[in-house]
Amino acid sequence: DAGVIQSPRHEVTEMGQEVTLRCKPISGHNSLFWYRQTMMRGLELLIYFNNNVPIDDSGMPEDRFSAKMPNASFSTLKIQPSEPRDSAVYFCASMRKGGYTFGSGTRLTVV
């Protein structure tokens, strides 16, 4: 089992550019979560999916953020346009029967 796979591990982009973060959950896990971690705000839940359907996106900061899960093995988190305050570590996690597995995170720096 390769675990939850996130790509890229690091991303540096210029303000105004579109950024796409990717996540491959563990096969058989039916829930997927996107978190953002910053020093100031800690770990914030952005959105989560059950069986590929978005359940709660109340944590998505604004319309610049969007997330999709077109199938059970892939999800994306897109920021367009990106801003310096979006700089953070973004985690994806998948869950089955109460057991959560986190990816290694993507460190995003917007300059």
Partner 1 sequence: AQTVTQSQPEMSVQEAETVTLSCTYDTSESDYYLFWYKQPPSRQMILVIRQEAYKQQNATENRFSVNFQKAAKSFSLKISDSQLGDAAMYFCAYRSWGGKLIFGQGTELSVKP
- Positions in the binding site for partner 1 (CB under 8 A): 31, 33, 35, 42-43, 45, 48, 50, 55-56, 89, 91, 93, 95, 98, 100, 102, 104-105
Please give the structure tokens belonging to residue 63: 């319309």
* Residue closer to partner 1, measured from CB, 7 or 81: 7
Distance (Å, rounded) from C-alpha 76 to C-alpha 69?
7
In whole angstroms, the minimum distance from the beta carbon of 43 to partner 1 comes to 4
In whole angstroms, the minimum distance from the beta carbon of 37 to partner 1 comes to 8
Distance (Å, rounded) from C-alpha 68 to C-alpha 12?
22
Phi, psi of 33 (to 5 degrees): -125, 145
* Residue closer to partner 1, measured from CB, 13 or 104: 104
Distance (Å, rounded) from C-alpha 79 to C-alpha 77?
7
Phi, psi of 35 (to 5 degrees): -120, 155
In whole angstroms, the minimum distance from the beta carbon of 34 to partner 1 comes to 12
* Residue closer to partner 1, measured from CB, 34 or 65: 34
